[in-house]
Amino acid sequence: MRARSLYGWTGRLARVDLSRGTCHVEQLNSRLLETYIGGRGLAARLFLDYAPGTGDPLSPGNVVVAAVGPVTGTAIPMNSRVHFVFKSPLTGGYGESSMGGSWPSFFKWAGYDALVILGASEKPAYIVLEREGCRVEDASQLWGLDAYDAEEELVKMYGVSTARAIVIGPAGENLVRYAVVTHGSPRLGIGRGGQAGRTGLGAVFGSKKLKAVIAIAEEKSVPVADEEGVKDLARSLVKKLSEKGIVLRRYGTMAMLDIGNALGFLPTGYWTRTRFEGLTAEKINSEVVRGRLACISCPIACGRDARYRLNGRSGRVEGLEYETTYALGSLLELDEPNAIAYLNDLADKLGIDTISLGNVLGLALAAREKLGLDIPSGKPDVEVLAKLVEDIAYRRGVGKILAEGVKAIAEKLGLEELAVHVRGLEPPGYDPRGLWGMYIAYATSPRGACHLRHMAYIIDIRGLAGDSRSLSKEKIMAIVEWEDRMSLFDSITMCKFSRDVVHFEEASQALAVVTGLDYNVKLVREKARLITLLAHYIERNVFGRAASYDRIPARLLEQSADGKAPAPRQLVEEMLAEYYRARGLDAEGRVKLEELRRLGADI
Ligand code: SF4
């Protein structure tokens, strides 16, 4: 590969030391960028430089790395995404989360490929990033504000047209282990926002007394190698994405609710059943959805603008999304869209991941006696749930233990047989008894139970490798292939909802016209494999969480109350071994260092 100059990338990294209150801009060498591309690949590689080791994730020794890709902020559609890597305070292992919206583009336009956050501040702080440099500012006046108020105050201070801020809410300040970093307050009117929601990044920010990171972009452009090539490719992709994205545009992610009910994978009643007739996409759309929202550069606009009325209060929230609707709806057997939207709004303001939150509430309801909760059985009262959400965010009463997450609650109260998590992460809305590929995806995703790393639910729903309730070598090969392609999306960076249009060929074309380098399908496949293995390497080799952590919760290996049989345990074990083989892991589930080096890793 021959470099002409740096296009697509800015070549700049902001290194912040919160203990000293300093921020320095450093150059990233082109070989590092070409090898790890950006986003997930670059963030994971930079994370390794700080010897993550065995320290407490909520101590100053934890490091947060954020990175965007060469495509971010260009004219290529659906590019506004950033990837974070850190040690997770929820799982104790590899933490990662990806976020869309507008902040990722502003971060790139402000002149950065990556941000490294070290140490911890003594007093509340926020980071300012702009082309002229970066600095740490006092955030005392923002500490204690909810996420909407904090973001609005900062963005208005620096200018709505030029600035975007990611913030934490009270949950992050109070170290709730599934707190988020977020942006896109519905009151700001800046389109679809985004949340780095999974594995507790908000708590890591809180432990560092970091309230926000603001990116200021006077110029909104990224130099690319082949301007005409970028324009041509962008035009062609926008046309195809608009055609393929009709359902997503019409229903948002909510279409999955009806598919889940039809196929029987919609987690219901804290993982006891697989269907919930009380909610449909049409019901959600007609009762609360009032418009669409898009990330920067997206022709699909999967985001929803929802309004709710409930018990004398009214509000506006970005959503509802499928994952939130499952977690705060079917999982809790709550069938009122207005009530779900209200809980969604509350969680967003307080800065809590709705997937983990719904699972914690579901476990709390299932174990109400053990937790000493005086809540009658049956359909839950939304006001009781809302009070629990606030108690969690402020760590009041029973909220103290609930703020620790499902795994910690289960260990403390002896609820391991009841609790549903993998590696300490609560699952999204795909019961593997209805989609058997999700057994392998949940067991092997480096961050724990996750749908976004392998996209196995798509393979199952579409029957791309056999029946949805089957496991085979063919399906494992498909899972490995999709896992690599999703690593590429997270690195270049592009939204995964472009998956029906952007394959390795289109991704390599985008990289080539943006960077001017000789990216081709073969090379891009190798990079994708390298980046996938790098994430596994951190979780499995560095943190030592290999085969013994690849476990499916007991409840999901039993027949559901509505008759959905699980995959046979023996078959799941055999297919896990098959995954290790296809993924190139050793028999203990660890990454072979020689394979990483063969693919170009400098570790
Ligand atoms: S499809 Fe949705 S998440 Fe993806 S870029 Fe578009 S608006 Fe953002």
DSSP, residue by residue, 421-454: -BTTBPP-S--TTT-THHHHHHHH-TTSS-STTT
Residues 69 and 198 in one domain: yes
Co-location of 165 and 22 in the same domain: yes
At residue 53, the pLDDT reads: 67
Residue 50 pLDDT more than 90? no
Dump the DSSP string for 334-345: ---HHHHHHHHH
How much is the pLDDT for 236?
97
> Count of CB atoms within 10 A of residue 525's CB?
17
Residue 5's pLDDT band (boundaries 50, 70, 90)? Answer: confident
CA 602–ligand 1 middle distance (angstroms):
34
pLDDT of residue 389: 98
Q: Could you tell me if the CB of 497 is within 6 A of ligand 1?
A: yes
The beta-strand segments (E) located in 259-301 are 289-293
CA 298 to ligand 1: nearest atom: 6
Burial class (CB in 10 A: 0-12, 13-18, 19+), 595: middle
Cβ–ligand 1 distance for 78 under 6 Å, the answer: yes
Distance 249 CA to ligand 1 centre (A): 9
Q: Kindly give the distance from the C-alpha atom of residue 192 to the centroid of ligand 1, in angstroms, as a whole number.
A: 8
Looking at residue 449, its pLDDT comes to 97
Whether residues 253 and 287 share a domain: the answer is yes
**174: left (phi > 0), else alpha (psi -120 to 50), else beta?**
alpha
Ligand 1 centre to CA of 347 (Å) is 21
Whether residue 71 is found in the same domain as residue 208:
yes
Distance of CA 592 to the CA centre of its chain: 27
The verdict on the CB of residue 294 being under 6 Å from ligand 1 is yes
Average pLDDT over the chain reads 96
Number of domains in the chain: 3
Residue 206 and residue 78 in one domain: yes
Q: What atom in ligand 1 is closest to the CA of residue 495? A: 4
Question: Is there a single domain that holds both residue 405 and residue 467?
Answer: no
More confident site: 247 or 178: 178
Report yes or no: 349 and 147 within 8 Å, Cβ to Cβ: yes
Distance (Å) from CA 329 to ligand 1 centroid: 23
- The finding on whether 439 has its CB within 6 A of some atom of ligand 1 is no
Checking if the pLDDT of 36 tops 50, the result is yes
Same domain, residue pair 186 and 267:
no
Instruction: Say if strands 210-216 and 125-130 run parallel, antiparallel, or are unpaired.
Output: parallel
State the average pLDDT over residues 107-136.
98
Rounded average pLDDT over 410-414 = 96
Same domain, 277 and 401: yes
Going by pLDDT thresholds of 50, 70 and 90, the confidence category of residue 82 is very high
Whether 393 is in the pocket of ligand 1, judged by its Cβ within 6 Å, is: no
Is the beta carbon of 495 within 6 A of some atom in ligand 1? yes
Q: Cβ(192) to ligand 1 under 6 A? A: yes
The whole-number average pLDDT for the span 318-337 is 96
Mean predicted confidence (pLDDT) in 522-533: 98
Here the CATH number for the domain that contains residue 390 is 1.10.569.10
| d(C-alpha 204, C-alpha 175), whole Å | 7
Same domain, residue pair 254 and 391: yes
Check pocket membership of 194 for ligand 1, CB cut-off 6 A.
Answer: no
- Per-residue model confidence as pLDDT tens digits over 291-327: 999 999 999 999 999 999 999 999 999 989 999 999 9
From the alpha carbon of 294, which atom of ligand 1 is closest? 7
How many Å apart are CA 137 and CA 121, to the nearest integer?
11
Q: Give residue 378's pLDDT.
A: 85
CB 259 near ligand 1, within 6 Å: no
449 shares its domain with 587: yes
Q: From the CA of 601, how far away is ligand 1's center (Å)? A: 31
Residue span of the structural domain in which 162 resides: 12-216
The model's pLDDT over 150-190, given as tens digits with 9 standing for 90+, comes to 999 999 999 999 999 999 999 999 999 999 999 999 999 99
Ligand 1 touching residue 340 (CB < 6 A):
no
